[in-house]
Structure 1
Amino acid sequence: MKTTVKIIAFTLTLILFNCKKQNSNFNYKYSDKPTTVACEISNENLYKEALYAFEDDILNFYGKNKRATNSTPTLTYAYNQFIRTVVYSHVPYESVVSKHTLDVFKALKDDNTLWDAENTKSHLNYNSPLIKCISKNIKDNNLKETFNSLLSVNDLDPKLFGAPLTTKYRNALNDKYLATYIAFDFYYSKLFDIDYSKINFDKPDNKVDFNKTP
């Protein structure tokens, strides 16, 4: 019964945002950044924006090693901490998400190919063109095999695939297909379930240096 209620609520949320057509109501901040996924898919620019916005968010929240007082936030450390928190704990998404990323998420809701109301593990549509594109292009052969094996038996979810990523999180820095999967399944799909009343946008904003070598 609880699962049925969640599916209905999720479906109604998608319908509401599709009616509002909000995907043009924000400015693209990362249009000058390198391409992320190169496949024959719609909304490629929006997906690119989504990835860089996600990386900005996790850098700001997880990028600094708090045990080292003078440490500089890095995307390497951010991916490490974010993935470990997804797998072993609970991500405080209300505290991580930025206003721009929330605007991107609202636009992503308009993409009917991305979401699956029946997928109670994630909300992400694992049969979407984006996921099919990612499944063919992950660079690391072992991760690619694991990803496709889980996908083939309908067992893909953030915690299962996240486990091997806890030791291969650095791959996300040089593999935009892998990074895009992480962004969409570990982050954006979870924003459907957050408590919007807990979001506070008055947080310090650290600028991401995407050209910095970890």
Structure 2
Amino acid sequence: MSCGWKHRGPLGPRAFVLWALASLCGLLLACAPPFRVPTQVRIPEESPRGEVETSDLAIRATALVDEEAQLELFRANLLLAGLLPVYLEMRNRGDVPVQLHRVRVEAYDESGNRLLLRSPKQALRHLFDYYDVTAYRITSREQLERSFAEMAFAFTPALAPDETRRGMLFLALAGEPGPRHAPARLTLTFASLRRARAPETFSLTLHIIMQRAEQ
């Protein structure tokens, strides 16, 4: 993604203007952020979601499968890049912290194919590769990576009593690289949850049905 203007010999006034415009085009492409990170995540009300809870912990996950909403939030279609964004909410309704730093997120579609959890940096790399973004300043890319990390769900520190934590998960869709569709059904398991001072761990599983969102 770049603009160039090759010439031989001295430039006339008109040629100089065209060269300047071409150079400006390349500069803008190299500096302007190709994607964006929303300061406030607004999930469409009709988005498919699933919930699971115990007496002291509630988890809700919402799949962002609406492609127009993805374009509005990220200025990119994540599904085309092979990513499924899931907005995660956890609420500690108990009186002791819940440790999340060793949690394993296990995601499977209706056919049993596993969707791998990607870090914010890996998710951004998916977008750069799919959209073939090459002309972009390193410092600006690092800032974009930090913004993606801030938007992602944080598994540290522990979830304090009465705390509600929100953030995005990025799941890599199963299959070959390239445009893919959201699964009809998503099973999410959060394994190795642990209450503070408790010796044992526990797991919670929820299901998200997405067929209605595709109709």
- The bucket for the TM-score relative to the shorter chain is under 0.3
**Which structure has the highest strand share of the two?**
2
* TM, length-normalised to structure 2: 0.26
**Which structure has the highest helix share of the two?**
1
Structure exhibiting the larger radius of gyration computed from Cα positions: 2
* TM, length-normalised to structure 1: 0.26
